[in-house]
Structures are given as structure tokens and as C-alpha cells.
Amino acid sequence: MRTMQHVGVVESVGDGKAELVLNAPPGGEACGSCRACAATAMGGRRLTVERDGLKKGDAVRVTMTVPSAYVSALIVFVVPMAMFIAGMAVAGRFEPADGSGLVTLLGGLAGVVLAVAAAMTVNRQFTRRHPPAVERIDPGEAAAVCPAGAFGLPGDRPGSRAGDRPGGGSEERGV
């Protein structure tokens, strides 16, 4: 497994939790392996973490453990397809003589639902075992990694916060 770092800002705090808005990662071992940055560039990825002394507006660096891109692809694409086929094969044995195919189709869909539920469970367990590490950083360090105005950090232009305009500031990043 590899790690990926994101820089972001604390958007809100409450009930012992802090909601972060993250920018595309500045690089690192896993950067570029999953193309998740494309979603981040379109308005910032949101992440809720334990508050641990964070305040609204704090610049943070988040380090996350990420599984191999191959394992992720296997869980997201191959397992549901295999479960669809297996569900169709099992349900096909109970298909009535008229051969409408409805029972077989429903069996395949049930297989996909089971696969998605299993993937969500695996993701939840992985996240619990490998929670993101959050450290407060100097706003100047965050500004060196992120374009001006990306997070509304102290010193950014007024009204240029990522959440204040369509696309989350992607026009400044050239995305």
C-alpha cells in the first residue's frame, strides 16, 4: 500500500468532527495512479475527520493510505461482474419453462447488489484500520502547493474561496 497527501482547509467544526475541503495532491508515491484528482479539481474533495484541536480556516495536510489501483479495480469492476454472472447462473436454475429470463435477470441484479454491499463493507473496514493522518500546516506552505484562492486561506483574494464559485476554482488551476 502507498500513501497520498492532500492539502486542504478546515471548512467547519462541530460535534468533535472537522470537515475538510481538500485540493488535488501535490504529488507523492500514489499520485496519478487512480485519477481521483479529476474529481477533486472540480470543487474539492470533502473529508470528515476527528477534530483534534483543528479550527475553522486551519490549513492542513492529510496523509491517506491507499490500496493498489489493481485491487481497487478488482473490487469495483471485476467482483460485481462476477457476482452478476454467478447470480444469473444460480437464478437460471429456477427459471420457469416459459423462458422469459426475468428470474435470471433478477438473480444477476441481486448478485450485483451483494457485491456492492460487500465492497462498501470492505471500504468501511479499510478506512477504520487506516484513518487519514491530519496535521496542521502553515498557510504559506499550503499556498505554495495550492493556487491562490483555492481555499480562502488568510491572504487569499476576497471572494475567491473554492466553494464560492462554480467549478470550485478549477479555472485557476487550468483544469
pTM for the model:
0.58
Nearest to 56 by CA among 162, 156, 1, 136: 136
Q: β-pairing, 45-50 with 17-22? A: antiparallel
**Within this chain, do residues 80 and 62 fall inside the same structural domain, yes or no?**
no
- Specify the residue for cell string 484513518: 131
The pLDDT assigned to 107 comes to 95
Residues 48 and 81 in one domain: no
For residues 118 and 123, give the distance between their C-alpha atoms in angstroms, rounded to a whole number: 9
pLDDT band per the 50, 70, 90 thresholds, residue 175: very low
- Each residue's pLDDT tens digit, 89-131: 999 999 888 878 999 999 999 999 999 999 899 888 988 898 8
Q: Is residue 31 part of a domain?
A: yes
Q: State the cell numbers at 159.
A: 471572494
Residue 36 lies in a domain: yes
Q: Is 133 part of a structural domain of the chain?
A: no
Domain extent, residue 44, equals 2-66+138-173
State the average pLDDT for the chain: 75
Mark whether 112 and 59 lie in a shared domain: no
Task: Centre a 10 Å sphere on the Cβ of residue 1 and count the other Cβ atoms it contains.
Answer: 11
Do 101 and 144 fall within a single domain? no
Note the pLDDT of residue 38. 53
So what's the pLDDT on residue 126? 87
Q: Are residues 58 and 143 in the same domain?
A: yes
